[in-house]
Structure 1
Amino acid sequence: MNTFASKDQIIFRVNSSITPTELSNVFKESGVKRPSEDLLRLKRMIENADILISAWDGEKLIGIARAITDFSYCCYLSDLAVNKEYQKQGIGKELVTLVKENISDEVTLLLLSSPTAMNYYPRIGFERIDNGFRILRKI
């Protein structure tokens, strides 16, 4: 685990353990729609992530970036969430920067955006793409 301090005393941790309850809380406090009440599913989401970057204010988890990758060709940023009280301070951008530092330059970073965040991602370096397909989860 690596730990990095920001100028505002927010601590960023790479692959530090977090609990399903902490993850649930940051999802709820960020407004990101995830299965926040399903702690067993959140536990699996934590355990099966290849990269887990967390942002902390003291003992409180205030931001998360969770990614799935092969570390060779592609990386899917499955979650980027920051507590609403801490948004617009560069925390989300720093979480993405730390994900990018944990993958090489030969790896493409991909994500699916909620409609409300479509204008955010280009501001932190993502390029909009139109080619894609999906099969939605049933639950």
Structure 2
Amino acid sequence: MTITYQINTPLTAKQAADIFISSGIKRPVEDLARIGRMLEHADILVTAWDGDQPVGLARAITDYAYCCYLSDLAVCREYQQQGIGKKLIATLQEHLGEESMLLLLAAPSAIDYYPQIGFEKLTSAFLIPRSK
């Protein structure tokens, strides 16, 4: 199995939803129109592919000069524990360059994962939650 990585290769909302479902990440997968908008308005979409099947994604919003928000990192369950998430992030960072920091909000189940791949845990974040 050879995994390839692509930047800004289009995904359908269904493909992204399937990755979210398989990965266990909580996203509004029943609302494909909303998933489509999430993809459409991302600045960067890094995807991992096993042949012609997408198996992971990193979706980000950035100004390319100072900061980048990693809004999704998801890898299909059967492809987890193989370094794909780490490689998605590395590919994103290479694309961004050295000027931008990378920031994310971690799901409670992933709190221990991110420090293992180079993220620093912060205590200075604030949130106004979505209502829907």
TM-score by length of 2: 0.98
The counterpart of 1:83, out of the listed 69, 76, 81, is: 76
What secondary structure is seen at the aligned counterpart in 2 of 1:95? helix
The counterpart of 2:2, out of the listed 9, 18, 22, is: 9
Q: Return the alpha-carbon distance in structure 1 between the equivalents of residues 125 and 48 of structure 2.
A: 30
The counterpart of 2:22, out of the listed 13, 29, 49, is: 29
Q: Does 1:109 align with 2:99?
A: no
Identity across matched positions, percent: 52
Report the counterpart of residue 62 of structure 1 in structure 2. Answer: 55
How far off its partner does 1:71 sit? 0.4
What secondary structure is seen at the aligned counterpart in 1 of 2:118? coil
Moved over 2 A (4+): none
Q: Does 1:41 align with 2:41?
A: no
How far off its partner does 1:91 sit? 0.1
Q: Return the alpha-carbon distance in structure 2 between the equivalents of residues 47 and 24 of structure 1.
A: 14
Aligned AA for 2:91?
Answer: L
Q: Does 1:72 align with 2:30?
A: no
Residues 57-92 of structure 1: CA deviation (Å, up to 9, x unaligned): 122111000000000111000000000100000000
CA RMSD of aligned residues (A): 0.7
What secondary structure is seen at the aligned counterpart in 2 of 1:113? coil
RCO comparison, higher one (Cα < 8 Å, 6+): 2
Report the counterpart of residue 4 of structure 1 in structure 2. Answer: none
Aligned residue-pair number: 132
Aligned AA for 1:19?
Answer: T
Structure 2 unpaired stretches of 5+: none
What secondary structure is seen at the aligned counterpart in 2 of 1:125? coil
Aligned AA for 1:138?
Answer: S
How far off its partner does 1:114 sit? 0.6
What secondary structure is seen at the aligned counterpart in 1 of 2:60? strand
Q: Does 1:95 align with 2:98?
A: no
